[in-house]
Structure 1
């Protein structure tokens, strides 16, 4: 009998919706223009037991990275402490990526407060972006964008503290991110969701490819093989297979991390099918790096301390 493959999910969310932490987008009026459309199906609790129940036979969830889930912004520290308490009870998540108010006076204090949690590894702070590629030039240079030096001071604060940045922007802002990061050599960056290639037109994919290449030229940037759902296209396993193959080629297998983005990704694909797609890509491109992509790279990039192999 083959041993179970240890798996680290490098990007998932949790929410109890019981008052522990407030999530306005899940508990109040739905957000218009959510990138995957109607998300009523995920407006319910999602806890560690729910994540573990999704892991297919033949795998063992050896660790996981929780990413901030758009909690009420005044409760960023509370979310981090709630995740730490969840780890104490269940042994998971293994690490937490929080949030801080880049460009605001409270940013440093928020970072320092979250560093009290042994799980805290960095933040996901999203710059202002355009909803569609044709609007990208219109927001360039605005407050909160990647050209806003005041906002980017948050990146310097991360570097000073040895924290990482989870970068999440749609593909038409990838080049801007690569340009901005030139001012922060050594800052560890993990690009979310395969660079979000939402625009699947020839021009859109060319823009994605160019931006991914620019980010891959920075040795301190890794990428999560996750979330290929789009606002404008149906789920396309063949096209998504090709995008994952390209990502592996651009970044190399040492800088690619398996991640699910569950439960958000469940709006487009099952956990089993997503993992199977990533496995198919690994098998056809870099089979010798299966353990790295499914487990070891997350340990390295998120500096994980895996207590035991018992959970």
Structure 2
């Protein structure tokens, strides 16, 4: 099999994987407001000044150099929203130049008058497999936003969401765990749209009460058979990356969804604010020792290949 490096790592701790969620950006040429001139006050990892630099395919290759990365999926990175298709066009050009990313999760607002046109334009790019469009959410549990414009109960948002099925797009769901009950209702209403929950449902509150609430929410959305999970991004705003604490999150999440619906993702370079790429991959590999080699292969690359309709790695 061919990797994004063009070589195979035979080291004992080298993991073979498809990275189901990462970003690249060129701040010199392209406009990302949150990385250029509009600080995101409530960024979930706090200070993100270190991200305000170009992160190109060669930077990703450098970070991933110790592992066998077969293919990658690029997830939209909040490119200028007045040009929603621009990022797709640029990432497609990066694929032609570097051979990856191999699939794109693009962006389209669901509530704007041109939502259907933007979805159709995204569908014109062969690498686009799905859409991520963040709904309006509350910053903490119990904050009332349900039914507000842009939320998952907003009729306009739901009409826009319905356009995913017309193009065969999946949906990358990014919400904190206290919105997963609402997301489960969306999944139930659109059973033919495949949904993948990003970043392990954001288990930010590691207190026993917080983890219990996260598990209940995860169990609720996992009941919907069209929902899958990206096991990724365990970083905390005010805490270090801790393997033992994160092991509990990973094993609980995989047990709730079943390993057949879980896929690995790095969320680099964002996750790099808390952990080095190689250390992240090796740590998750250690966490999965209770599972068989075949199950681990499904987790690290097989499930992402199926979900995002990637080429068979054996043919690469």
The two structures have a TM-score, normalised by structure 2, of: 0.92
Aligned-residue offset at 1:161:
1.4
SS at the partner of 1:45?
coil
Summarize deviations over 1:283-308 as a string: whole Å, max 9, x none.
Answer: 13444312111111110001113588
Count of residues in Structure 1 that have an aligned counterpart in Structure 2: 306
Please tell me whether the aligned partners of residues 95 and 121 of structure 1 are also in contact (alpha carbons under 8 angstroms): yes
- Corresponding residue for residue 155 of structure 2: 149
Which of 206, 214, 217 aligns to 1:208? It is: 214
Q: Following superposition of structure 1 onto structure 2, how do residues 33-182 of structure 1 map, counting pairs within 5 Å? A: 33-57=42-66, 59-135=67-143, 138-182=144-188
- Corresponding residue for residue 21 of structure 2: 11
Aligned-residue offset at 1:140:
1.4
Aligned-residue offset at 1:180:
2.1
Q: Following superposition of structure 1 onto structure 2, how do residues 131-280 of structure 1 map, counting pairs within 5 Å? A: 131-135=139-143, 138-280=144-286
Please tell me whether the aligned partners of residues 12 and 64 of structure 1 are also in contact (alpha carbons under 8 angstroms): yes
In structure 2, what is the Cα distance between the partners aligned to 1:104 and 1:71? 17
Aligned-residue offset at 1:205:
1.3
Structure 1 regions of 5+ residues with no counterpart?
none
Provide closer, same or farther for how the CA distance between residues 308 and 81 of structure 1 changes in structure 2, counting only shifts above 3 A. Answer: farther
Please tell me whether the aligned partners of residues 187 and 195 of structure 2 are also in contact (alpha carbons under 8 angstroms): no
In structure 1, what is the Cα distance between the partners aligned to 2:42 and 2:287? 31
Summarize deviations over 1:233-252 as a string: whole Å, max 9, x none.
Answer: 33222111011001111111
SS at the partner of 1:165?
strand
More helix by share: 1
Provide closer, same or farther for how the CA distance between residues 309 and 266 of structure 1 changes in structure 2, counting only shifts above 3 A. Answer: farther
In structure 1, what is the Cα distance between the partners aligned to 2:191 and 2:46? 37
Provide closer, same or farther for how the CA distance between residues 55 and 95 of structure 1 changes in structure 2, counting only shifts above 3 A. Answer: same
Please tell me whether the aligned partners of residues 245 and 285 of structure 1 are also in contact (alpha carbons under 8 angstroms): no
Please tell me whether the aligned partners of residues 70 and 313 of structure 2 are also in contact (alpha carbons under 8 angstroms): no
Aligned-residue offset at 1:152:
1.4
Aligned-residue offset at 1:155:
1.9
Aligned-residue offset at 1:203:
2.4
Aligned-residue offset at 1:5:
4.7
The two structures, once aligned, show a CA RMSD in angstroms of: 1.7
In structure 1, what is the Cα distance between the partners aligned to 2:178 and 2:156? 22
Summarize deviations over 1:119-146 as a string: whole Å, max 9, x none.
Answer: 00111011100111242xx111111111
- Corresponding residue for residue 4 of structure 2: none
Structure 2 regions of 5+ residues with no counterpart?
1-9
Which of 31, 36, 47 aligns to 1:22? It is: 31
SS at the partner of 2:85?
helix
